[in-house]
Structure formats: structure tokens, C-alpha cells
Structure 1
């Protein structure tokens, strides 16, 4: 299916250069962990990666002043976002609206690996536990 959502002539480049940073080192044996602030790339989103082999492990309860989108790359997770509990498996995406406390945990079996998109040029977080 061909897409034509806008006229390319209506958008002008703003002078930012393409950029590249390392998010994680993929050695094949350890879970990915890392972050790249959008500000370092000249962009509006910060990208994190979180991985764990431990069942029940995950980031602590926290909140951001911006939205966050989680992509489950491998494994299975249970997300707690505000009052909602959402189970997700590889290939699924979970949205966390700004201001809602959230966390997630590996529910196994095996490794959980996520890519977390913070809708902000820098990572801003307040831990709640």
C-alpha cells in the first residue's frame, strides 16, 4: 500500500545534522541496558533499553512529566500504569501517559527486554518507592 500522508514539499529541513549514539552493547549474553538522551541527537525523544533475566525484576515505581512508550522486544512483562495492569509480550507496545506512576516486571519465562521511548529530549524521573 502506497502512503502519501503529506506533501514532502511542505516540510523544510531545519538544519539539524543526522546523529548516532550507542544505546547498548550487544554481546549476546547479557540483557541490554542503556539510554540515549534525545538532546544528544538533536531530537525530541530519549530512548532507553531495559533488560533482565530475573523473574519478578523490573524498574521501581516512578513517574515522568511526559508520556512514555514501551516496546517489548523479548519475553513477557506485567506493566502497572496508574490503576491499570497490562500484560504484554514481545512485539507489543504499552503506552504510559504522563503523570501516571508506573513500573513493570519480568513475568518470564526467560529474559525480558524492552525499548522505552521517553517523549522528552532528556530523561526526567521521580522514584516513588
Structure 2
């Protein structure tokens, strides 16, 4: 059976990253092995601090340009590109501007698990 979830039903990441995250969808309840994060960084320099997950994370860049730190690499990625971060790899990103950075982040896990490193 297919599940359709309208935007107004997405769970909000209330208080976790104020004004930085549009929403979080924990898909495990629907039988999925993935969790989706709908990320919107409106200000230049905005983004999460260094962290890692015990599973792979895939970033689909929908709009804007970001500077991604993945392990010891610095990667500038723009709309239309996809980055795949291996499990247990420290990573972070910031909005390079000039406009918002919008990504859909796919966590290959039914729920969001993060270890913050700084």
C-alpha cells in the first residue's frame, strides 16, 4: 500500500534547529528504511555543525550552493548535484549564497540518529 503524506502533516523539527529546518519525516512508521530531512538554509553561513550518523546520508541539492565538509574533503555543491556521505563519516555544510540553500537529505535509517562532534 502506498502512503501519501501532505506537506502540512510533516513532523516539524521543533526547536532542534530553529529557523533552519523545514521539516523531518520519520518514515519507519510507514515501513521505509529511510528518514527524510527537508532542509532550508536561508542565510549565508547557515548550516549544521560537524556531526555523523551510523548510516549513509544522501544530500540532494535542490537550490543554491553549499560548502560541504565530508571527512577531510571540502566540496562545493550546487543545485542539481547529489552527495553521498558514507556511514560514520564526520560532515557538515554551510550555505555559500547568494540565496537560500535547499536540500532533501535522505538518512538510510527509519529514524534520525546523530552524534554531534562540535
For the aligned pair, the TM-score class normalised by the smaller chain equals 0.7 to 0.9
Is 1:20 equivalent to 2:14 in the alignment?
A: no
Seen in structure 2, the aligned counterparts of structure 1 residues 80 and 22 have a Cα distance that, compared at 3 Å, is: farther
Give the drift of 1:32. 6.1
Structure 1 spans left out of the alignment, 5+ residues:
1-16
Whole-angstrom distance in 1 between the partners of 2:83 and 2:36: 15
Three-state SS of the structure 2 residue aligned to 1:49 is strand
> How much does 1:21 deviate?
2.7
RMSD: 1.9
Cα deviations across residues 70-89 of structure 1 (Å, max 9, x unaligned)?
Answer: 01100000100101111110
Count of equivalent residues: 109
Q: Partner of 1:40: helix, strand, or coil? A: helix
Take 1:119 and 1:23, find their aligned partners in 2: how far apart are those partners? 21
| Aligned 1:38-57 pairs, distance under 5 A | 38-57=27-46
Q: Which runs of 4+ in 1 moved over 3 A?
A: 22-25
Matched, 1:124 2:117: no
Partner Cα distance (2:71, 2:53) in 1: 12
More strand by share: 2
What TM-score does the superposition give when structure 1 sets the normalisation length?
0.78
- Structure 2 portions without partners, runs of 5+: 10-18
1:78 corresponds to which of 67, 72, 77: 67
